[in-house]
């Protein structure tokens, strides 16, 4: 059953196998012409001068697939896109990454790909929000913006001689705090127009990165002066009472309510369940799983149990079959 590592009893194994077989039959009917396995024939018109790309080979005047995946066609180019592969960046992708090094005029970012990305100091909006030249002072203050192990959200800018280039020139991009970073297979995330989601009913922000990194955190309103006071901070003489009061205010501002933390964990567990079952990550399905766990009065840790995995698979099979009948 797709190599699922779950402690299932015999009844749960049968139920899960039936649900997965039903889902597979529904998906195979919809994608029978698009999906191929090794040595499958790729239908092409012999009269057209097609270009054979990755995952294809020619044998006895027939185009065969050399890997499992989906047939893609771009003009005259025909290739097979592997499903279970590392993230392949495309310009305009929204990604979530982790800072691994602060280098001169740039940050190196881990993005779950074959190579690390680079975020240049000149490719992001500075804390003061003013468009100007980056000076030596800005370079000295880079750690006050992003430091090692910080989680950030950025956009793929392009490919240059020194590697993959990122940019963060919008208020929605930047440092991510007060949440969890999840890692899933990139093929479970489909490229969409919107990768930023505010789940208002839970007070949670969800950033679904195309690279398989997903951020679930407390909702924070974006502001232009989010880093104000961290860079070019004027010298001030404060007393001990002022320091104590400012530290208490800082603790209050950084405190995340218990209910919000539970919602973050519940949404994160829903994503883990979808990843384990191999389902595509969509906001609607995540919310349905969270609502299902709440309706069953399950604690957060109980969501990761085998019985709830089986219930989610059965529910998804029923919904897809109903959708198929309506179509």
Answer yes or no: same fold for 32-82 and 84-176.
Answer: yes
- Nearest by Cα to 288 from 258, 314, 321: 314
Homologous superfamily of the 84-176 domain (CATH): Nucleic acid-binding proteins (2.40.50.140)
Q: Which fold has domain 32-82?
A: OB fold (Dihydrolipoamide Acetyltransferase, E2P) (2.40.50)
Please provide the distance, in angstroms rounded to a whole number, between the alpha carbons at the two ends of the chain: 28
The domain locations on the chain are 1-30+177-221+258-327, 32-82, 84-176
| 204 Cβ neighbours under 8 A, 6+ residues apart | 198, 216, 217, 218, 219, 260, 263, 264, 267
184 three-class SS: coil
- The model carries a pTM of 0.80
- Nearest by Cα to 271 from 182, 202, 210: 182
Alpha carbons 281 and 189: distance in angstroms, whole number: 6
Tens digit of each residue's pLDDT, the chain (327 residues): 455 678 888 998 999 999 988 888 877 555 555 778 888 888 877 666 778 888 888 888 788 888 888 888 888 888 888 877 788 888 999 999 999 999 999 999 999 988 899 999 988 887 766 677 788 888 898 999 999 999 999 999 998 877 899 999 888 899 999 999 999 999 899 888 899 999 999 999 999 999 999 999 998 876 544 343 344 444 444 444 554 544 545 555 677 889 999 999 999 999 999 999 989 999 999 999 999 999 999 999 999 999 999 999 999 998 888 877 765
Handedness of CA 165, 170, 172, 177 (dihedral sign): positive
């Amino acid at each position: 059953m797709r190599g699922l590592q779950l402690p299932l009893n015999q009844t749960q194994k049968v139920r899960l196998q039936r649900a997965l077989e039903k889902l597979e039959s529904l998906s195979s009917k919809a994608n029978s012409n698009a999906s191929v396995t090794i040595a499958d024939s790729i239908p092409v018109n012999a009269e057209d001068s097609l270009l054979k790309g990755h995952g294809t080979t020619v044998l006895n005047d027939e185009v065969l697939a050399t890997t499992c995946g989906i047939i893609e066609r771009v003009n005259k180019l025909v290739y097979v896109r592997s499903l279970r592969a590392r993230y392949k960046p495309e310009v305009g992708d929204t990604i979530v990454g982790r800072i691994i090094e602060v280098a001169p005029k740039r940050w190196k970012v881990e993005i779950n790909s074959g190579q690390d990305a680079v975020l240049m100091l000149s490719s992001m909006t500075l804390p003061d929000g003013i468009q100007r030249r980056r000076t030596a002072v800005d370079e000295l203050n880079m750690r006050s913006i992003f430091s090692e192990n910080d989680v950030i959200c950025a956009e793929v800018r392009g490919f240059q001689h020194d590697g993959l280039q990122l940019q963060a020139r919008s208020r929605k991009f930047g440092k991510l705090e007060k949440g969890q970073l999840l890692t899933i297979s990139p093929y479970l995330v489909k490229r969409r127009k919107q990768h930023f989601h505010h789940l208002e009913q839970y007070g949670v922000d969800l950033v679904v990165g195309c690279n398989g990194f997903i951020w679930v955190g407390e909702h924070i309103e974006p502001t232009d002066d989010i880093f104000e006071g961290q860079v070019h901070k004027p010298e001030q003489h404060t007393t001990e009472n002022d320091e104590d009061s400012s530290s208490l205010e800082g603790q209050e501002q950084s405190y995340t309510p218990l209910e919000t933390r539970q919602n973050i964990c519940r949404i994160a567990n829903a994503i883990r369940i979808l990843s384990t079952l191999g389902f595509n990550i969509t906001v609607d399905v995540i919310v349905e799983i969270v609502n299902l766990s709440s309706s069953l009065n399950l604690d957060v840790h109980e969501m990761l149990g085998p019985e709830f995995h089986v219930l989610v698979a059965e529910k998804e099979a029923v919904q897809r079959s109903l959708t198929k009948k309506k179509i």
